Amino acid sequence: MLETRNLDKSFGAVHVTRDVSLKLERGERRVILGPNGAGKTTLFNLLVGELTPDSGAVLLAGEDVTALPVAKRARRGLSRSYQKNTLFDGLTVEENLGLAAAVHTGSATRLWGDSLATPEVREIVEEVAEQVRLMPYLHAKVSEVSYGVRRQLEVGVALATRPLVLLMDEPTSGVGPEMAKGFHELLNDLPRDLTLLIIEHDMDLAFDVADTITVLNYGEVVFDGLPDAARGSKLLKEIYLGSWEDA
């Protein structure tokens, strides 16, 4: 479904992505682990096209999309959420979801009629609001809801484009352990045919949702395999030290 071949990216002298090759099957749920600065977010930026790789290729559903701009890749079914909330702050939760759904249904560019009032958009908004537990907040402005709710919306907006592949950059970053747990239940309830690539900091939580695990360190893939194998890996112990002991 989503594949990278020998991706490389440097910022000046800093080599942030080193020869990264990944392959996600349809419906696979993969978690990316790695310490701060390992290049996880950079990899996402390369995948969606917000950054251009120095070399290597990105394939979506078997087609090379490396040369495609962000919007075109998105329209082919690649969607992402951000580590730092990237929402429409002055608008309501419903409008946030609606804007995304309207792009997907094609009503975002039409000159006649409200894009958010179409039955298709309303249906998506309602469904996504259920999926990410936002029903009670639909009419609240983003600026009026709590940080945790905004994190849910961050994922909701990405989901509302009805993607084939959803990339989530630390969806639980900054929320308490209780809420993070709830978040992972929510992720587990998503449709099984949706391919998920999730950056996660917390090991325990990662094992909650992962079919497969990839570990990045200094921009390099140092582990790629099943969660059980990851649990036993010595290398990971070294990278993760403290948090590993509790796992």
Partner 1 sequence: MFQHTALRYTALILLAAGAFAQAVTAGYFGLEVLTEILLLAMLVLALDMVAGFGGMVSLCHGALMGLGAYAYAILTTKAGIAPPVAMAGAIAITGVAAWVIGAIGARSHGIYFIMATLAFGQMAYSYVFEAPLFGGDDGMGGIPRLDLTLIGLDLNDSRSFALFCLLLLAASYGAAVLILRSGLGRSLIGVMHNEQRMRALGLTVWRIKADVFGLSGMIAGLAGALAAQHVMYISPGPLAWTVSGEALVVVILGGLGTLVGPMIGAAAFVVLKHEVSNVTSYWHLVVGVLLIAVVMSRANGLFGWIEARWGARLERRLSDLTRKSDAEEVPTDA
Ligand X SMILES: Nc1ncnc2c1ncn2[C@@H]1O[C@H](COP(=O)(O)OP(=O)(O)OP(=O)(O)O)[C@@H](O)[C@H]1O
Q: Give contact residues for Mg ion (rule: CB under 5 A).
A: 40-41, 83
- Closest distance to ligand X from the beta carbon of 158 (Å): 17
How open is the CA angle 223-227-233, to the nearest 5 degrees?
Answer: 50
Stretch that binds ligand X, among 39-47, 89-97, 133-141, 180-188 (CB under 6 A): 39-47
Q: Report how far residue 148's alpha carbon sits from residue 3's, in angstroms, rounded to the nearest whole number.
A: 31
Of 40, 43, 80, 46, give the one whose Cα is nearest residue 65. 46
Q: Tell me how many residues contact partner 1 (CB under 8 A).
A: 35
> Interface with partner 1 includes 36 (CB under 8 A)?
no
Query: Which token pair is 201?
Result: 């900091």
> Interface with partner 1 includes 70 (CB under 8 A)?
yes
Stretch that binds partner 1, among 31-39, 114-122, 124-132, 225-233 (CB under 8 A): 114-122
> Interface with partner 1 includes 13 (CB under 8 A)?
no
Cα→Cα distances 136→111, 140, 149, 172, Å? 31, 9, 10, 20
- Give which of ligand X, partner 1, Mg ion, none residue 39 binds (C-beta under 5 to 8 Å, depending on kind): ligand X
End-to-end CA distance of the chain: 30
| Positive or negative: CA dihedral 156, 42, 244, 211 | positive
Q: Which of residues 42-61 bind ligand X (CB under 6 A)?
A: 42
Pairing of strands 29-33, 195-199: parallel
**Interacting residues of 147 by C-beta distance below 8 A, sequence separation 6+:** 174, 175
Q: Which of residues 82-121 bind ligand X (CB under 6 A)?
A: 83
- Give which of ligand X, partner 1, Mg ion, none residue 103 binds (C-beta under 5 to 8 Å, depending on kind): partner 1
- Closest distance to ligand X from the beta carbon of 50 (Å): 10
- Give which of ligand X, Mg ion, partner 1, none residue 104 binds (C-beta under 5 to 8 Å, depending on kind): partner 1
- Give which of partner 1, ligand X, Mg ion, none residue 37 binds (C-beta under 5 to 8 Å, depending on kind): ligand X
> Interface with ligand X includes 132 (CB under 6 A)?
no
How open is the CA angle 53-78-19, to the nearest 5 degrees?
Answer: 30
